[in-house]
Structure 1
Amino acid sequence: MKKIIGWLHLWLGISSGLVVLIVALTGSLLVFEDELDPLFHPSFFYVTAPAGARPLSVDALAKTVQAQYPGYKLYDINIEQEASRSMIFALRKSKTDVLDVAVNQYTGTIVEAVKEQRRFFYVVLQLHRYLCMGAVGKVITGISCSIFLILVLTGLVLWWPKRNTRRQRMQVKWDASWKRLNWDLHAVLGFYVHIVIFTIALMGLTWSYEWVNNLIFLTFDGKPYKKMTAPKVTPAKVMHTAYLDQVLATTDSLFAYHGPIKIRFSEKKDEAITVSRQNTDAAVSNITSFAYFEKGSGKLVKVRPYETESRGMKARRLVYPIHTGSLLGWPTKIIALIAALVAASLPITGLCIWLNRKKKKQPSKAGKNKLPDDVPLLRKDSVSSPAGIS
């Protein structure tokens, strides 16, 4: 049975290794996207406020942006809590032509406009989810993610030590031969992060397969997921001059906690404006409440606070922070980063183990350079990978 599991681990690892490497490396970057994006591009995200200046009307800023880019329609507005952060307007001409415009809310000056498809973390996300190949890439990453779960389980079986080899399987011998060190990096490090990478990969299936997403709602609500849409409204005949300011003020009063606000405009004329606010004061991340407003008047149509969400929706909202490691802030992000980097190394170390096996075997050195006696890969009658995840 162990030979069969080793064979399965080896060839599944070889078939999915490149995709796992790409997804894990891009995932390690996305763990700290919120911190790195402003760091890489500070002129886009940060502004200097003149002494004593107060933010200008959101409506006035929106008109300035629309006038500057008449071929685009306003899609959403991102408003951060920090006074030093710029206000970012997303304008859309089509699904593949989106313009992100950073505005100094104190002066009304357009700081910079960038095509969303050219932003660094947009490209990283496309690689992570779709390999920059659209629907085909989504299928490939979904299959590879499923294979990765099998690799974690089979790797754990292959790693599982006998009583007299338990210590060898729990530590990396840094001063050993290259062959032994490579095996330790694959098997031992793979063991220490296997729970984290298995959980991260399992959460990732939610974006690959609709049935996984529905399973969450079936488990907690007893019924499949129903897509949330903005309520139907009739837009106001007369546009109020400061209705967006009213929307912002109402949102502040409804959700009186710290957190960024996103105002999103529907492409359908008869749908309300959707406003969301993330609660950064909450113990875990991605706790978000929603409110809906009539376009043109700022009249409140519906409130959807997080507290009233179904158990299924609350569970679904935990998927993203668990997957990215942002669940409890920096501690879980660091754990996720380490796990992602180890996961990225496993296809490389696993490939090296396989290539070493193909070479003509030489008698092993005694002492510290000797590999564990129960490593299946080093036996002449075995074709299995020793441990970890390839």
Structure 2
Amino acid sequence: MAGQDCGSDSGGPETRRFKSILRCTQKCGTVLGARENQHEERRSGLKAQRSGTGENFMSQRHAPVIVIGSGPAGYTAAIYAARAMLKPIVIAGLQQGGQLMITTDVENYPGYADPVQGPWMMDQMATQAQNVGAEIVHDIITEVETTVRPFRLKGDSGTIYTCDALIIATGAQAKWLGLDSEQTFMGGGVSACATCDGFFYRGKDVVVVGGGNTAVEEALYLSHIAKSVTVVHRRDGFRAEKIMQDRLLSRQNVSVVWNSVIDEILGTEAKPPMGATVTGVRLKNVVTGETQELDTHGVFVAIGHAPAVSLFEGKLKQKPNGYLWTAPDSTATDVPGIFAAGDVTDDIYRQAVTAAGMGCMAALEAERWLAAQEPLHEAAE
């Protein structure tokens, strides 16, 4: 998909934040354009339902299986559950399609000889899930009750969903540095999505923070847009795949500052309409303690992701690092009938293909678990 002119980076912080939502839509073409329309329809629908004018205000929906999340894990789970005649409902969440909706070239997913666009691939998964019988609902789950049977979920629309088996595929979200200045310049030079915001730094100097696959991918993408890319990494070597490291280090406009962290993001906190704007960063060497300042127009944070588990804290067992716990060689959580798949539980691989595989596992395990409950229900009757 060809990139499109997304407009200038003028305007205040609120304008830039709004543009940030639209950037990836305009860059990635019609697929994301359709997704943004869906987001708008979803927001309008939820508002109408909350106000009591929607048809489904405080309605109730039941399905044998409900999937929370619409990334590779969620859609694959839905495909397998639908083929098992379990009539799954997929609650898409705010970002339908997951993290691949902000990914440009996907080169390592089996079945595609040439790189494909992440949004297109997720659109295909959604269509496949619907074609085999899954229902995709544009809602956001705000509450989950795991101690009742059937399980009970409340949507932001006011709809109550119940299910006999629940598959959690809520994925993960970007981590931030935790600096006050990071929040100050959010939307004014600080971003966690090069695909979304890179266009606004065409011909400018940018900094990428991190050393894993995400950081290297972001830096590679930006190297085709920005005048210069400086990668700041707290260690003395990347953790990314070797082939990606070689690609990045071969780029003449890319440099690396090893053993360093961002100590502060610098900039001007101008009044509206210009808003706060990044002008540089202060770096600190973690070995020597020395600091240096580096001029830059943008800071892209790519230090990993945290699992989206807020709905389940205190309700489901978690690993020490916060990811949902599952039994060995299984997607089963500590609550019978609830399964977890993808980046919400995978703290090792975090790949689209492994997420899809886990979605398959979760659906198969849910099917078997439900089948095992039928004799129990019959005996109870």
Is the helix fraction higher in 1 or 2? Answer: 1
Task: Give your verdict on TM over 0.5.
Answer: no
State the structure with more CA Rg: 1
User: Structure 2 length as normaliser, TM-score?
Assistant: 0.26
The answer to which structure, 1 or 2, has the higher relative contact order (CA under 8 A, 6+ apart) is 1
Is the strand fraction higher in 1 or 2? Answer: 2
